[in-house]
Structure 1
Amino acid sequence: MLLCLTVSCFAFPALAANATLEKAIDGFVRPAYAAFHTVAAKETGDVQALCAKPSQEKLAAARKNFVALVSAWSRVEIVRFGPVTEENRLDRILFWPDRKSIGLKQVQAALADEDATAGNAAQLAGKSVAMQGLGALEFVLFGTGSETLGVPGDPYRCSYGLAIAQNLEDMAKAISDAWQMPDGIASTWANPGPDNPLYRNDDEALTELFDVFVHGLEMTRDVRLNGFLGNTPDDDKPKQAIFWRSGATVISLGKNLAGMKALFEASGLASLLPAESAWIAQSIDFEFNTSQTMIGHEPAPIADMLSSDNRGGLPALRLITSHLSELFGVNMAAALGLSAGFSSLDGD
């Protein structure tokens, strides 16, 4: 599903873009990427401790912080432009969906062959994107054979996991540092103008912010939810869900929506609406708040959730994301004087 929300489809009215974008950057983007870096650094430390002295307690700690790392990433991954797109970082952090299990096969091959280059963070960074991100680390920590990490005797698996964790930490730091630079992407985005290499006017800069919500909702619903959630229980495919091994599927979905909610609030985008359209922001707040009350905050097997009476509330969550897509892509767009192009929202 693609909604045409680019400058070629509409023009934003002359609005106070600079203030809105600065609030988005300082109130959400910078702290969210910094938090991702902090949790990534902790995961490196936890895996390093596990490798140095394997135990069930240390394995449990590394697994617990992996879920925290998924949470931190899922909250900020909606910002899919800027430094995260450089050096192929977006796919290197999370290669998904892996429809043909290419990544899984590569990770399993590295473990079976004890590929020394995959156990070195610097060398791993140059290998397949599917071998060096959250999906690979999840399999190392939770996949078949992972129980050996809790006892001495499987140093390669742990060294590979440590290389992945270090690689994720390095990328998280690079992205966070780039957003903190006073003359970097933050300044470029918040100060559109004719000499700006990326954003020539307010319309283009605000479109980048608006697209975070439009495309973030599409990703959450169409790629993540619909990737495993069928129209009926018989159509569900729990092992096609993201992070199913670690039980972090619903946590990740919830953090995607929580990130959009936090960005919406931090940016003050609602303040750009005319008074007669204030109901749109109120409706958006209501839908975001409802989504958060439905989401579990502890890891749980997605298969168990789908087998419950209401399938973990996931069909309702899918409906909420469709409502939000309409509120952003249709109602808010119209209220701000936009004219959207083709959308397959109709019939969702």
Structure 2
Amino acid sequence: MLKRSLLVLVLPLALLGISPASASVKASDIIQRAVEGFVRPAYAGLHDHAQALAKAMHKLCEAPSQAGLDAARVEFSATVYAWSSAEIIGFGPIKENNRLERMLYWPDRKGLGLKQVQAVLAARDALATDPAQLAGKSIAMQGLGALEFVLYGDGADALAGKDDPYRCAYGAAVAGNIETIAGEVADAWNKPDGFAALWANPGPQNPLYRDGNEAVTELVGVFINELEMVRDVRLKGFLGAKPDADKPKQAIYWRSQNTTNSLAGNLAGIDALFQVSKLGDALPEDARWMAQSIHIQLTNGVSTAKSVQGPIDKALADPALREKLEHLRLITSSLSTLVGTRLTAEFGLTAGFSSLDGD
């Protein structure tokens, strides 16, 4: 599983261009904008989509049909995009109670999660059809990856008929679990005295953020870490240096054809967070072009990802579509350099970390 190691950055007051006395206040403004303008809406939106997905699954189980299956798949794709945008905030409430891994167990290079999902479908474990009971089982059995296999894996077409009611019941339980997790995280971010208050109000007595520098460093780390995640883990995980090195079945959401939909959601989330936080306004005036360049490149990245449709193996086999994926790799590499090197240099950041550590 992917592990995010500690981000070690030294953030000087020059970042905010203000005096020490007002540093935490200005940092609070940046973080408050990030929370109110992106984090809360993103997780609220995820919860809304998860609710719609759960309803679609229950409707499918009650009255199996191809139209019902198609509707559930549409809601699944919408939920994947919503999650892909929200998941860039991979700290705070989503890290509690293994919610992050329960929502998405990936990468699963050894296929352990897949085997567990296949095993529960074969064994028809009644407990796995109860969302409350499912929440206590293996993390690999209760999130988006598990539901993707239910809806798109071997035997999924049976959901359109009445031959495999257990598969649908299990899928509905997984969808219900996803809805519960999304709701818990959304509620936690909205608590007046919860994590958001700690992040936006740094101080000597704060157990997580002792000053404004640490609070803003957390935000800067999102952009650095998530861009590297998109480039090095999600994209390069299946896109080889040459076509014969491609690994389409290592692509996230390859069964549901949501690989590029997910990448677009990641980049759209990063762009939205960067814009609403107005972090770029803290740049020296002669370096403000960076903020605009970051926005333009993220927008181009989203458009490029969305332009690659259909099965990822066929996209990789199509020279024109593969060229678009190569272009997306160039965009993410350029963004990683712009944000992780040039932006941090302007802010006087000292980076001494490996932001992503995969096993």
- Which residue does 1:263 correspond to in 2? 273
- Which residue does 2:21 correspond to in 1? none
Give the one of 301, 310, 316 matched to 2:327.
316
Instruction: Give the CA deviation at 1:299.
Output: 5.4
1:245 aligns with 2:255: yes
Structure 2 CA distance for aligned equivalents of residues 331 and 4 of structure 1: 21
After the TM superposition, which of the residue ranges 115-124 and 247-256 deviates more from structure 2? 115-124
Cα 1:108–1:344 shift into 2, 3 Å: closer
Contact 1:12 1:337 in 2 (8 A): no
Structure 1 CA distance for aligned equivalents of residues 348 and 256 of structure 2: 44
Scaled by the length of structure 2, the TM-score of the pair is 0.92
Instruction: Give the CA deviation at 1:216.
Output: 0.4
1:124 aligns with 2:134: yes
Instruction: Give the CA deviation at 1:91.
Output: 0.3
Give the one of 235, 243, 248 matched to 1:225.
235
Runs of 4+ in 1 over 6 A off after TM superposition: 1-4
Give the one of 327, 330, 337 matched to 2:348.
337
- Which residue does 1:48 correspond to in 2? 58
Instruction: Give the CA deviation at 1:221.
Output: 1.0
Give the one of 8, 29, 48 matched to 1:6.
8
> Counterparts in 2 of 1:133-282, with a 5 A limit?
133-282=143-292
Instruction: Give the CA deviation at 1:11.
Output: 3.7
Structure 2 CA distance for aligned equivalents of residues 326 and 12 of structure 1: 23
Deviations for 1:287-335, whole angstroms, at most 9, x for unmatched residues? Answer: 1121122122785210111111130511111111111111111111111
Instruction: Give the CA deviation at 1:114.
Output: 0.6
Contact 1:12 1:338 in 2 (8 A): no
Scaled by the length of structure 1, the TM-score of the pair is 0.95
Letter in 2 for 1:176: A
Cα 1:12–1:80 shift into 2, 3 Å: farther
Instruction: Give the CA deviation at 1:115.
Output: 1.2
Structure 2 CA distance for aligned equivalents of residues 330 and 12 of structure 1: 18
Structure 1 CA distance for aligned equivalents of residues 307 and 190 of structure 2: 30
Letter in 2 for 1:56: Q
Structure 2 CA distance for aligned equivalents of residues 43 and 190 of structure 1: 32
- Which residue does 2:117 correspond to in 1? 107
Deviations for 1:243-298, whole angstroms, at most 9, x for unmatched residues? Answer: 00000000001110010000000100000101011121122122112112212278
Letter in 2 for 1:157: R
1:90 aligns with 2:119: no
Cα 1:60–1:323 shift into 2, 3 Å: same
- Which residue does 1:325 correspond to in 2? 336
Structure 2 CA distance for aligned equivalents of residues 255 and 144 of structure 1: 27
Cα 1:298–1:277 shift into 2, 3 Å: closer
Letter in 2 for 1:21: I
Contact 1:32 1:75 in 2 (8 A): yes
Deviations for 1:34-86, whole angstroms, at most 9, x for unmatched residues? Answer: 00000000000000000001000000000111000100000110001000000
Contact 2:15 2:347 in 1 (8 A): no
Give the one of 295, 299, 317 matched to 1:289.
299
Cα 1:34–1:210 shift into 2, 3 Å: same
RMSD: 1.9
Letter in 1 for 2:161: V
Contact 1:3 1:340 in 2 (8 A): no
Instruction: Give the CA deviation at 1:12.
Output: 4.8
Matched residue SS, 1:295: helix
Contact 2:264 2:303 in 1 (8 A): no
Instruction: Give the CA deviation at 1:94.
Output: 0.2
Instruction: Give the CA deviation at 1:181.
Output: 0.9
Structure 2 CA distance for aligned equivalents of residues 298 and 50 of structure 1: 29
Structure 2 CA distance for aligned equivalents of residues 4 and 105 of structure 1: 31
Letter in 1 for 2:336: S
Percent sequence identity over aligned pairs: 53
Letter in 2 for 1:328: V
Contact 1:10 1:340 in 2 (8 A): no
Matched residue SS, 1:227: coil
Aligned length: 344
Letter in 2 for 1:87: N
Letter in 2 for 1:218: E
Structure 2 CA distance for aligned equivalents of residues 5 and 167 of structure 1: 31
Structure 2 CA distance for aligned equivalents of residues 268 and 287 of structure 1: 17
Matched residue SS, 2:310: coil
Deviations for 1:89-114, whole angstroms, at most 9, x for unmatched residues? Answer: 00000000001000000000000111
